[in-house]
Amino acid sequence: MDDTAVEPAGTPDEPRCVQILATLAGKVNLADFQNAVPVARELSVLNETDTDVKGLRLTVSSEHAFLKPKTWSIDHLSAGQTVRISDLDLSLGALLGRLKEGLNRTRNFAAGGLSERPR
């Protein structure tokens, strides 16, 4: 007899939201930047709500200005839709050229500016 238990992927009580999905380089150095190795390899926004979202702004920034802030505008994101961001050209800040040793830095993605909020 098979004793494998199957658990549901999610429960109906879990809140649905707009998600930011990103695949980023684990480490970035000056040589990567000079050779055009991308910091962000994939970036998309998923609206898992039942409501369309309009006027969405997606912003990336980093601790200590490691990356120059960049903002993408998404005019309309339908319920259940995923939008893939194609312009992944993130500019590195001046900090990278002045570093003498490795540092751990945090990259932040934020979505805001919704003109219609999900229910």
pLDDT tens per residue across span 14-51: 678 899 999 888 777 777 777 878 888 899 999 999 99
Please report whether residue 11 resides in a domain: no
Select the more confidently predicted residue: 16 or 81: 81
Return the CATH number at 41.
2.60.40.10
Domain that holds residue 64: 18-112
Please report whether residue 106 resides in a domain: yes
Please report whether residue 12 resides in a domain: no
CB burial of residue 90 (10 Å; 0-12, 13-18, 19+): buried
Domain count, the chain: 1
Question: Which H/E stretch holds residue 30?
Answer: helix 30-34
Please report whether residue 29 resides in a domain: yes
Sign of CA dihedral 67, 61, 59, 14: positive
Please report whether residue 27 resides in a domain: yes
Q: pLDDT tens for residues 49-78? A: 999 999 999 988 877 677 788 999 999 999
Query: Tell me, what's the pLDDT at 101?
Result: 52
Please report whether residue 24 resides in a domain: yes
Token pair 């505008």 in the structure block, residue: 73
Please report whether residue 54 resides in a domain: yes
Please report whether residue 118 resides in a domain: no
Q: Where do runs of H (alpha helix) occur along the chain? A: 30-34, 95-98
